[in-house]
Amino acid sequence: MRCFALLIALLLPTLVRAAEFAELYSFSAMVIGLSPPPALSPQCDGGDKWIDIKTELTGNGVFPKTPSIIVGTQLWAVFSNPRAYLMIGQTQPNGDAITPFVFGTSTPPPVFFPAGHGFAFDPDRDHLRLHYRCFPDDPLPQFGFTIFYKKAE
């Protein structure tokens, strides 16, 4: 009986955490440099670039349509130059960077979970942007992301 009680005590926080994210949604997109370039291709001139995730990208899943809580992000990048980078930023009032910078080629894709239980995101008020930099000598620049969210209560 003591073993059963110990097992329950060890698993309970995991079960509660899993129940917390029972209604988890995601949105993923990728940007790739091809020749000829598609409508949205990385601009690799060595300067800082921004892409509005809601208005400039199409992807898999559903971008939040109502106030939500972003509970995690995943970024991946394939750049030949180690100074090239990718990150996701958000407009105020919630701050700018919501992910660390991913430099050069990053494998496996890092998954970031904000401290606590995530942060509020209102698609009518806030904007999520991919912030990246790549260079002209990159033969096939590409990057992508996934955001994980739940509906705000």
DSSP 72-130: EEEEEEE-SSTT-EEEEEE-TTS-SBSS--EESSBSSPPEE--STT-EEE-TTT--EEE
Residue 15 lies in a domain: no
Residue 122 lies in a domain: yes
The range of the structural domain enclosing residue 137 comes to: 23-151
Confidence of residue 108 (pLDDT cuts 50, 70, 90): low
Confidence of residue 9 (pLDDT cuts 50, 70, 90): very low
User: Strands 102-103 and 128-133, how do they pair?
Assistant: unpaired
Residue 6 lies in a domain: no
Residue 83 lies in a domain: yes
Stronger pLDDT, 61 or 18, i.e. the higher one: 61
Residue 4 lies in a domain: no
Residue 119 lies in a domain: yes
Residue 12 lies in a domain: no
Cβ-in-10-Å burial (0-12, 13-18, 19+) of 149 comes to buried
CA gap 71, 7 in Å, rounded? 27
CATH number of the domain at 106, please: 2.60.120
Q: Provide the number of structural domains found in the chain.
A: 1
Could you report the per-residue pLDDT of 120-147, keeping only the tens digit for each? 889 888 888 888 999 998 888 888 899 9
pTM of the model: 0.75
